[in-house]
Amino acid sequence: MIKSFLLSVLIAGSSAIALNAQAPVNPEAGNHISRIDSLTQALLGNIPSHSPVGHDETRYRNGKEFEALMSQIGSTIPFQYHRMVEQHIRYFMGYGEGYFNQIHERMKLYFPIFEEILDKNGLPTELKYISVIESNLNPSAVSWCGATGLWQFMPYTGKLMGMRIGYPCDDRKSIVESTQKACEYFANSQSIFNNWLMSIASYNCGPGNVQKAIRRSGGKTNFWEVLPFLPKETQNYVPKFIAVAYVLNFTEKGKNALHNDQSIVLAPTKIDSTMHLGKINEYLGTHHNLVGLNQELLNQNTDMAHGSVILMPYNASMDFIDRFDSAAAFAKYNHHVVPTNYRAPYAYPKSVPRGVQVAGSTGVTAPKTSSGKIVVVVKRGQTLSAIARTHGVTVTQIKTWNHLRSNSIQVGQRLVIQKNRR
Domains of the chain, residue spans: 2-47+262-330, 63-260, 357-418
CATH architecture of 63-260: Orthogonal Bundle (1.10)
> Between 336 and 251, where is the model more confident?
251
Question: Is it the case that residue 7 has pLDDT exceeding 90?
Answer: no
Classified as helix, coil or strand, 256 is coil
R_g of the chain computed on alpha carbons: 24
Classified as helix, coil or strand, 291 is helix
Q: What is the model's pLDDT at position 413?
A: 85
Q: What is the model's pLDDT at position 366?
A: 39
Model pTM greater than 0.85? no
* Residue 156 burial by Cβ neighbours in a 10 Å radius (0-12, 13-18, 19+): middle
Q: What is the model's pLDDT at position 195?
A: 97
242: nearest Cα among 10, 80, 115: 80
CA distances from residue 204 to 213, 231, 301 in whole angstroms, order as listed? 13, 9, 33
Average pLDDT of the chain, as a whole number = 80
Q: What is the model's pLDDT at position 333?
A: 73
The pLDDT confidence band at residue 144, using thresholds 50, 70 and 90, is confident
**Catalytic residue of the set 126, 134, 177, 296:** 134
15-32 pLDDT, tens per residue?
333 333 333 333 333 334
pLDDT (average), residues 307-335? 87
Question: Is it the case that residue 6 has pLDDT exceeding 60?
Answer: no
Question: Is it the case that residue 286 has pLDDT exceeding 90?
Answer: no
Which H helix or E strand runs over 416?
Answer: strand 414-418
93-143 pLDDT, tens per residue?
999 999 999 999 999 889 989 999 999 999 999 999 999 999 999 999 998
The pLDDT confidence band at residue 44, using thresholds 50, 70 and 90, is low
Q: What is the model's pLDDT at position 393?
A: 82
Q: What is the model's pLDDT at position 10?
A: 44
The pLDDT confidence band at residue 42, using thresholds 50, 70 and 90, is low
Q: What is the model's pLDDT at position 292?
A: 92
Q: Is 134 one of the annotated active-site residues of the chain? A: yes
**What class is the 357-418 domain?**
alpha beta
> Between 141 and 374, where is the model more confident?
141
Share of the chain above pLDDT 70, in %: 76
Share of the chain above pLDDT 90, in %: 50
Strand residues in 89-164 grouped as ranges (E): none
The pLDDT confidence band at residue 398, using thresholds 50, 70 and 90, is confident
Task: Say which range, 28-32, 144-148, 323-327, has the weakest mean pLDDT.
Answer: 28-32
